[in-house]
Structure 1
Amino acid sequence: MKIWAGSMVALGFTLCGVQAEVSSQQLEQSLDLRERWMGLTRDVLLAPQWTDDNQSFYYKLSVEGGFRFYLEQLEPGHRAQAFDHQRISDALSKASGQQFSPLQLPFDSFSYGRNADIRFYYDDSLWSCALDGSSCARQQRQGQPKAFGVVRDLRVAPQNSAKVSADGRYQAQTVGYNLRISDAKGATVLESTDGSAENFYDPQSIQWAPDSSALLVLKVKPGTARLVSRVLAAPADQLEPKTITQLYPKPGDAVDIEQPVLVQLASRQLKPIDPQLFAKPYSLDELQWRSDSSGFVFKYTERGHQLARVVAVDAKTAQASALVTEQSPTFIDQWGGSYLQLLQGNNPGLLWLSERDGWAHLYRYNNQGKLLNQVTQGQWRVRAVQRVDEAKQQIWFSASGMDPKQDPYYVHYYRINFDGSGLTALTSANATHEVVYSADFSHYIDLYSRVDLPNQAELRRSADGSLLRVLAKGDISRLTAAGFKAPTPFVSKGRDGKTDIWGLLVRPQQFDPNKSYPVIENIYAGPHSSFVPKSFWPFGYHSGGDKVIGMQALADLGFIVVQIDGMGTGNRSKAFHDVAWRNLADSGFPDRILWHKAAAAQFPWYSLQHGVGIYGASAGGQSTVGALVFHPEFYSVGVAYAGCYDNRMDKISWNEQWLGYPVGEQYRASSVTEHASQLRGRLLIINGEQDSNVDPASTMQLVNALIKADKDFDLLLVPGGEHAVGRSSGPIRYVQRRQFDFFLRHLQQQQTPDWNK
């Protein structure tokens, strides 16, 4: 049940009074909350997947003692363990050096491999374990990586196995910096001579035309090879430190310039494509041949993310033409608002996702780039496309915000005809949904939940959406008996006085409405998505932090802990999102502050008397410091994890998307390092020494600026810690305890235990 902020004004509330010293036992209980509660759910189904033959599916299910993975038949519904949990836990424990029990395996989903094995991600790596438990190994990444998608790591050799044409008559690969095409006997048919270290043919980009008449390949001018070095001060295998280097392009750096080249076998010619239509590239993506081999198509994103284009190249003439040109005065969202699908059947063309009418919707074009129709429309947004059925001229997609009576972030699933008719809803329950289709789309699993509704899983028939059977209904009776109470959604108006701003509140287990509680905000302002939880699973995944339980653990120490999606975050209208453009310092604070004030006006126990506490990680760390720098009259205590405190120091991809190109005054304006002298309140900075996501130097530059400004602050550097230190990696318990201590001392003015006794 959501609570709407109305005109009700609190008659008054008591101030946060002096409280007894918090005990070590209280803190220990909060730190242990996730472990104590994790095993209290039953029949909560997670991460369903189908087998390739469409006849069965598998999933993770909470059981007494933890979780089991099950494999279930479509007909007649027989269920068995998906694998031998004891064998897998033994093999993984031996291979990783960490001890795992059969019911506490460290992954939430897996896939069946082709060699009687399962594959899953653990510890930021892909692992493969034989089903018989005979082996388990971390898989090495293949090929030449591209740092943040734009600069090839030339220290790593690319995959250079020969690419064989569909008819088997030819094979192509690079020799040195050049392209060589040979026949089946190995005789050279064509070989370039213009390749060099400064302009080379990329073997990983070679694509043959379906009829083997031609191929396309990218010729590459390398971008800036910026290497970031980190010192591993306390390695596990030796006394002396180690130095680690990472290819890490930053905003403004030169990216790889990729030149498509058409190779025509009949004429034995290599024809570079005129770059006039893609002259200022950030990236060239989704290169693909048309099914009739008449040409190929790719998506071009211009540097600055304000222009995107679908470019078609004719295989006979090598001439390029623009099928779609998309422009925006702000940004074109490549994180959550990008989709291109070629239509290769009897009515060739393409589908394209655009926010040109203010919302993310699908548009259909013919093969010459003429707009045929807008497929979807309305004040809601398409979230993803799952299937394009050219035979039936239908699109299967997910969307949010279509039902004005529901939370606008809830995801639902639909089917629609190419011409925009026949919109059919495949989900209806007032909740957010995850639908997983069988490979032939004949059936689907509908997994839905809310923060106050545990996971419900149903098997349905796609043709008519009919229910075949209920797979699982989450049972949280034990969790509720232990004290769990679902977070409370709360909605108020934003800075424009009319837009709804959604968030949620977490109260202490021993909540007393007659008391007054200081407030702490858990912030992540994106802006690449929305972040307030909408589904039930409060514990988070092994790789995804602690979600609601982490907020509950903090709340139990005597706080109200909240999370809000202010303007500038995603999954709403284009205008809602555009607030972030070239202004990451905004972080939605005008909306957040109004939200807090609306909550305080409605709830007497919601105290803003001593300022609001705030914490966050990564971009949330940046926003946390921003709260104390730009809004110190409202926010008073902050804990900042792994922040990108100056966006010029962070990765190129995320920052140029929102702050634009070239690097200019907008970067300086959003930098909290540049404004460190404005800091007020109390600040704890936490960072992992080996953060590979955000250059740790960004943290030390902020520290340097604070010292120069003669500011007091606390700093915790975790040796060997990665980007997720204190959330899903590293010494989580210690780091969280430091966060809890900090808020208790500075927001509640409580004395915390002497942990060194």
Structure 2
Amino acid sequence: MSIVSKICCLIFSGLLFAASCIAQPLPDYKPSHAEMVANYKEAARRDSAVLKTIGGFSVVPHWIKGEEAFWYSNVLAGGKTEYIYVNAKTGAKKPLFDTDKMKAAIQEATGISDPRENATIPIIGYRSSSKSIIFVFDGKNYSYDAAKNKLTTIDSLPQVELASVAFKEPPSRWESFETDSLSPNKQYVAFIRDNNVFIKKVGEDTATQYTFDGSNSYLYESLAWSPDSRYVVGYHIKPVKDSSVYYVLSSVPGTTRGQLRSQAYKQPGDPVTTYEMYVFPVDNNKGIKVQTPVIDFFDAPLLHWSTNKQYFFYEKMDRGHQRFRIIRVNAASGETNTVIDEQTKTFIYTNRIFTHYLPATNEIIWSSEKDGWYHLYLADDRSGDSKMITQGNYVVRNIDSIDEKKRQIWFTASGMNSNEDPYFEHYYRIDFDGKNLVALTNERANHKVVFSPDRKYFLDTYSTIDQAPQTILGKTETGKKIADIQKADISSFLQVVKTLPHAFKAKGRDGVTDIWGVYFVPANFDSTKRYPIIENIYAGPQDAFVPKSFIGYSREMQSLADLGFIVVQMDGMGTANRSKSFHDVCWKNLADGGFPDRILWMKALAKEHPYVDTTRVGLYGTSAGGQNALGGLLFHPEFYKAAVAACGCHDNRVDKQWWNEQWMGYPVGKEYEQQSNVTNAYRLQGDLLLIVGEADTNVPPESTYRVIDALIKARKTFDFLPVPGMGHSDGGPYGRMRKRDFFVQHLLGVAPPSRNDSKADL
């Protein structure tokens, strides 16, 4: 063999050896039973020891009437509280009062030898007029004049002066809307008698009957006066009595028999009550049928009247959630025209529709995802012509308030900044014409802002999953920071927990879209070992669920990780708060659960961190998460090996109508059966624990029992934990204990602690 050949062989052998070294996985983390018991004890110790270790976690301002100032209570690490006064113009801080002087005054008045050692003094309020502190101590009410260092006992707590906030949330459009029977001008009364409509003058016995065809099965109801007292709007209603679901309380104290309970419960496809709209003019004894389709979804809608009171508007969502309209009604004639008519091939997210009516200028602000992102529009309330207020590849998340005089909108949005987590919420102000967009928050974090009552100032508390909360004071007009107010002290917290969760992103199924999540490692983490994964899953399309702010004492995922797992959570496609196309993945497709994205995310995490073991993966979830948890074993058994599913809505035909028709569509189609965990129970591979509370009024317990029936018929093995008296939950403390034991046994291969041993101390 030539020298060149020998060299090539050596190089090739070296490459093979290097490749084999690289491919060699880390040894699995497999504790002994004794080590596992110690992990349980240590996790429980941390859960207890972590309390009261964080100081300055939040700032809740109490704005002082007549001053550009506020005070707040600051809970320190250890649990003691201090009270801070802040000059909003300068950001200067000082104690609200001299604590030592106040406590000395308390000692003199109460005879308590050392009030410094007593519980924190609960301050009820601050009275700016007298510069006095109102509080309760040792069961008595006091007023303390800080300037005069004078303590006065008071018989009752006075009404504390508070600066009011003008903006109020409007009533829900989807509740059954009606007004008081007395007209706004106090001259007439509208009422229902024998299922028909009557109107009479106040003080008179004789009433004018407007309808004559009302009956128990086709009645008139839900009367609402116009603001000028000229009209009453009402409905001819065909009521539907909802069918009931049942459950049995097996263990009610003082009984020897199970107690049957029932409740009315609409399921997908069930018939609904319908409403035909009428107008009843006070000056005419004949009703006018409004020329509009029958309302076959939700109840009598909220009415919005024009300035001249000749027209009113109402909103209509068609059953199936694919068409939303704003309809304008001529009260005198019953004629209508549709101002806004939005239709989609998938769904319109009903609960996130925003509308705000501007009758003085004949305009409507409304929200839509018609351009692919959730944005705000300004429409003419007569023609419906509209233009975008916000636009871009980001999501308007919430409307804080609207200033009609300045024609400005205050809102939150996420995804506007390309260099950060697209779920971080930021606060903005924008003019009605889409100009003068002002960002009030800048730090790369999740933000929560509260404004002063006059909106001149704001307090911004921001944090991330691994960065402690900070609060700054800012000037609303410019968005500029005035002063740092507080930063949470987590030094003692870190001494207990040892580690914080981490954010991680990876590409989803399309190879382009970033999927964002978090992961938790054990407190006694050893990077030279490989740990099983447990996914906390909830893929309900109504929101996104991965925590974005500092979670502090919320310990469930970290406490589970401390037993010897990598615990993860991520938002896959089909959840909310991203683009419309991202959300649309869930349409008639809840079984998808974002699993293709979730699995890729975990594989990417393992590629970057060799201590993550994708051969031992479990998942758990509650409600829709319970549906997802079992779905992981049914539809992706090649990846998931164990699941704990609590009170799952395993068959979308069994669950509540309003939630399931929103995502699975109406009429009930073949998708409902095809994607049911009951229908697919025969597919089960891996280890399964089902948990259900027998008193669940949210998802009928029979949803879980139907899965059990199908599993038994398919001769599958599984564990089952019914919890007597428990409602819709993960099984409570006992259910969470059993969940931990289940994963320890099936993913770590270690016997969990034996709690039936009389010598056990767990």
Asked if Structure 1 and Structure 2 have the same fold, meaning a TM-score greater than 0.5 normalized by the shorter chain, the answer is yes
Is 1:444 aligned to 2:450, yes or no? no
Distance 1:261 1:642 in 2: 43
Change (3 A) 1:149 1:724: farther
Distance 1:357 1:185 in 2: 56
Q: Which residue of 1 aligns with 2:495?
A: 481
Is 1:307 aligned to 2:319, yes or no? no
Q: Which residue of 2 aligns with 1:217?
A: 234
Q: Which residue of 1 aligns with 2:400?
A: 386
Contact 1:31/1:733, CA 8 A, preserved across alignment: no
Contact 1:517/1:560, CA 8 A, preserved across alignment: yes
Is 1:169 aligned to 2:187, yes or no? yes
SS at structure 2 position matched to 1:212: coil
1:64-107 Cα deviation digits (max 9, x unpaired): 555879797877977589xxxxxxxxxxxxxxxxxxx98899xx
SS at structure 2 position matched to 1:645: coil
Q: Which residue of 2 aligns with 1:748?
A: 748
In the TM superposition, residue 53 of structure 1 has moved relative to its aligned partner by: 9.1
Report percent identity of matched pairs: 38
In the TM superposition, residue 36 of structure 1 has moved relative to its aligned partner by: 2.6
1:560 maps to a residue whose letter is: I
Q: Which residue of 1 aligns with 2:347?
A: 331
Change (3 A) 1:326 1:523: same
Is 1:248 aligned to 2:261, yes or no? no
Distance 1:450 1:366 in 2: 41
1:294-338 Cα deviation digits (max 9, x unpaired): 2221111111111111111112211121000001111111133x1
Distance 1:526 1:250 in 2: 17
Is 1:639 aligned to 2:644, yes or no? yes
1:569-718 aligned at under 5 Å gives the runs 569-610=575-616, 612-718=617-723
1:250 maps to a residue whose letter is: Q
Structure of greater relative contact order (alpha carbons < 8 Å, 6+ residues apart): 1
In the TM superposition, residue 527 of structure 1 has moved relative to its aligned partner by: 0.9
Q: Which residue of 2 aligns with 1:343?
A: 358
Q: Which residue of 2 aligns with 1:422?
A: 436
Change (3 A) 1:150 1:468: closer
2:197 maps to a residue whose letter is: L
Distance 2:676 2:288 in 1: 45
2:327 maps to a residue whose letter is: V
Contact 1:10/1:603, CA 8 A, preserved across alignment: no
1:142-541 aligned at under 5 Å gives the runs 162-191=180-209, 192-202=211-221, 205-236=222-253, 238-276=255-293, 280-281=296-297, 285-336=301-352, 338-345=353-360, 347-539=361-553
1:231 maps to a residue whose letter is: V
Change (3 A) 1:486 1:257: same
1:43 maps to a residue whose letter is: G
Q: Which residue of 2 aligns with 1:35?
A: 48
Distance 2:286 2:456 in 1: 46
In the TM superposition, residue 60 of structure 1 has moved relative to its aligned partner by: 7.5
In the TM superposition, residue 232 of structure 1 has moved relative to its aligned partner by: 1.5
Q: Which residue of 2 aligns with 1:560?
A: 566
The worse-fitting range, judged by mean Cα deviation, of 561-570 and 366-375 is 366-375
Change (3 A) 1:638 1:46: farther
The worse-fitting range, judged by mean Cα deviation, of 289-298 and 496-505 is 289-298
Contact 2:179/2:223, CA 8 A, preserved across alignment: no
Distance 1:369 1:515 in 2: 67
SS at structure 1 position matched to 2:603: helix
> Which of 14, 39, 46 lines up with 2:26 in the alignment?
14
Distance 2:119 2:359 in 1: 47
1:116-155 aligned at under 5 Å gives the runs none
The CA RMSD measured in Å over matched residues stands at 3.2
Contact 1:225/1:247, CA 8 A, preserved across alignment: yes
Distance 2:258 2:41 in 1: 34
Contact 2:682/2:710, CA 8 A, preserved across alignment: yes
SS at structure 2 position matched to 1:609: strand
Is 1:739 aligned to 2:726, yes or no? no
**Structure 2 unaligned blocks of 5 or more:** 1-20, 99-117, 123-133, 137-154, 159-171, 758-762
1:319-361 Cα deviation digits (max 9, x unpaired): 121000001111111133x11111122x211111111110001
Distance 1:635 1:563 in 2: 14
Change (3 A) 1:397 1:162: closer
SS at structure 2 position matched to 1:409: coil
Distance 1:693 1:45 in 2: 33
SS at structure 1 position matched to 2:590: coil
Q: Which residue of 2 aligns with 1:145?
A: none
Contact 1:149/1:653, CA 8 A, preserved across alignment: no
1:252-279 Cα deviation digits (max 9, x unpaired): 0112212222221122332232233x56
1:750 maps to a residue whose letter is: V
Contact 1:304/1:657, CA 8 A, preserved across alignment: yes
In the TM superposition, residue 228 of structure 1 has moved relative to its aligned partner by: 1.4
TM-score (normalizing by structure 2): 0.82
SS at structure 1 position matched to 2:535: strand
Distance 1:242 1:744 in 2: 36
Is 1:720 aligned to 2:737, yes or no? no
Change (3 A) 1:68 1:322: farther
Change (3 A) 1:725 1:616: closer
Distance 1:234 1:393 in 2: 60
Q: Which residue of 2 aligns with 1:112?
A: none
**Structure 1 unaligned blocks of 5 or more:** 1-8, 82-100, 106-115, 119-130, 135-147, 153-158, 540-545, 727-731
1:209-234 Cα deviation digits (max 9, x unpaired): 22121122334322341211221112
Contact 1:284/1:299, CA 8 A, preserved across alignment: no
Change (3 A) 1:466 1:599: closer
Contact 2:394/2:413, CA 8 A, preserved across alignment: yes
Contact 1:304/1:662, CA 8 A, preserved across alignment: yes
1:676-729 Cα deviation digits (max 9, x unpaired): 000000000111111111111101111111111111111111111111244xxx
Contact 1:150/1:255, CA 8 A, preserved across alignment: no
Distance 1:291 1:671 in 2: 51
2:406 maps to a residue whose letter is: K
Contact 1:385/1:397, CA 8 A, preserved across alignment: yes
Distance 1:350 1:716 in 2: 52
Change (3 A) 1:10 1:683: farther
TM-score (normalizing by structure 1): 0.82
Distance 2:621 2:286 in 1: 56
Contact 1:620/1:643, CA 8 A, preserved across alignment: yes
Aligned length: 670
